Amino acid sequence: MVTSSPSVVVVTGVSRYLGARVAARLAADPRIDRVVGLDPHDPPARLLGLLDGVERIRADARAATEAIADLGAEALVHLAVTSVPDAEHGGRSGMKEQNVIGTMQVLAAAQGAPKLRKLVVRSSTAAYGASFRDPAVFTEDTEPRAVPRGPFARDILDIEGYVRGFRRRRPEVAATVLRFAPMISSSAETSLTRYFAQPVVPTVLGRDARLQFVHVDDALEVLHRSVTENHPGTFNVAGSGVLMLSQAVRRAGRVAVPLPESGLSTAASLARYLGVEQIGLDQIDLFVHGRVVDTSRLIREFGFTPRSTATAFEEFIQAHAAGSSLTADRLAAAEHAILDGIRRVRAAAEGDPAHPAKSRA
């Protein structure tokens, strides 16, 4: 469904990779007169060049109410959503403040913006959770089978709940919620790309999760069309097909380190040893259970088909073909983490009165 493009677009989260790319792309569209980026933080130097055509206002979500109304925004793109805690910005409490409280404040501002006619919100397939009760494929109408234990997934459920409330209060605004699969490309830097870029990749013993990715360029195309066209509703955004975790590790030319599921915290420790600081429960659950979504609604409504999961991952591999060097120090750290995990499992078993090891002691 194509309608006239909005003349004034406000984008939140422009200090981050996705927000800066989206704002730059919208600013380059001759159909759009003005693009304004709202963010409490200055973008890093590597992103500043992208934002030459974007008006930047340094403001957090609390200040958004007046800013969005005063700017006469006709479209609001909310991308200030983070998937992992950042110790420099308050850890988990700062993450929840930005994701949940920030979204609540942005939507309150949107509700009071008289000219607003389009709202686009970044969501995630993490909304479906990850558990052994999951269906083979999730559609947009599938409810989570279990309450997610990961903080990002719980935040996403809260965010989408606020959007549903906004839709009831402003039914004339075309509200689009985009549930993105994990993003990947040659240049994107996320906890997932850092995970696969490491020479040693921790996996879960006895599990081989099915994974889906979406190429960043395809995510940008869908976001752009959501602003310049009219696509109200909720959409899964992912590449077709799946990759098993073991396939992805082999194609990336990395070394898999299987760890017992009962020692998943050690997997996160191993990841930190190897330089991947932001592996948490959301990522661990994904690597245990996997997640596959149906994208037929997106393809039908947008008239656009993202490149396949395998193609998106292949581009990432080519950009990281040299990989990271497996130094003696890193190998020793990996060995230490694995042995520590084994000791933890043994200690837990010996401490369990119902475990046979206890009766033999």
> How many domains is the chain partitioned into structurally?
2
Could you tell me if 251 and 199 are in contact, meaning their C-beta atoms sit under 8 angstroms apart? no
Per-residue model confidence (pLDDT) at position 326? 46
Tell me the pLDDT tens digit for each residue of 249-271. 999 888 888 877 655 555 555 55
Is position 262 within any domain? yes
Could you tell me if 202 and 259 are in contact, meaning their C-beta atoms sit under 8 angstroms apart? yes
Is position 303 within any domain? yes
Is position 324 within any domain? no
Q: Packing angle between helix 264-273 and helix 281-289, nearest 10 degrees?
A: 120
Regarding whether 213 and 348 lie in a shared domain, the answer is no
133 or 38, which is more confident? 38
For the residues of 105-133, what is the DSSP string, one character each?
HHHHHHHT-TT--EEEEEEEGGGG---TT
Is position 327 within any domain? no
Range of the domain at 354: 334-361
Could you tell me if 220 and 25 are in contact, meaning their C-beta atoms sit under 8 angstroms apart? yes
How, if at all, do strands 200-204 and 210-211 pair?
unpaired
Is position 239 within any domain? yes
* Neighbouring C-beta atoms of residue 288, cutoff 10 Å: 20
Is position 329 within any domain? no
C-alpha span between 267 and 270 (Å, rounded): 5
Query: 291's torsion region: left (phi>0), alpha (psi -120 to 50) or beta?
Result: beta
C-alpha span between 266 and 264 (Å, rounded): 5
Q: What percent of the chain has pLDDT over 90?
A: 55
Q: What is the mean pLDDT of residues 144-166?
A: 91
Q: For residue 213, is pLDDT > 50? A: yes
Per-residue model confidence (pLDDT) at position 318? 86
C-alpha span between 216 and 254 (Å, rounded): 22
Task: Tell me what percent of the chain is helix, strand and coil, each rounded to the nearest 5.
Answer: 45, 15, 35
Regarding whether 353 and 219 lie in a shared domain, the answer is no
The pTM score is 0.85
Angle at 156 between CA 74 and CA 79, to 5 degrees: 35
Tell me what the pLDDT averaged over the chain comes to. Answer: 85
Q: Packing angle between helix 328-350 and helix 264-273, nearest 10 degrees?
A: 160
Regarding whether 341 and 262 lie in a shared domain, the answer is no
Per-residue model confidence (pLDDT) at position 352? 55
Regarding whether 348 and 225 lie in a shared domain, the answer is no
Per-residue model confidence (pLDDT) at position 269? 53
What 3-state DSSP class applies to 208? coil
Q: What percent of the chain has pLDDT over 70?
A: 82
Tell me the pLDDT tens digit for each residue of 31-68. 999 999 999 889 999 999 999 999 999 887 677 777 78
C-alpha span between 278 and 191 (Å, rounded): 6
C-alpha span between 98 and 39 (Å, rounded): 11
Regarding whether 351 and 229 lie in a shared domain, the answer is no
Regarding whether 357 and 220 lie in a shared domain, the answer is no
Regarding whether 314 and 345 lie in a shared domain, the answer is no
Q: For residue 354, what pLDDT band results from cuts at 50, 70 and 90? A: very low
Per-residue model confidence (pLDDT) at position 359? 40
* Neighbouring C-beta atoms of residue 281, cutoff 10 Å: 18
Q: What is the mean pLDDT of residues 235-260?
A: 91
For the residues of 216-268, what is the DSSP string, one character each?
HHHHHHHHHHHHHS---EEEEE--SS-EEHHHHHHHTTPEEEEE-GGGHHHHH
Strand partners, 236: 179
C-alpha span between 43 and 236 (Å, rounded): 28
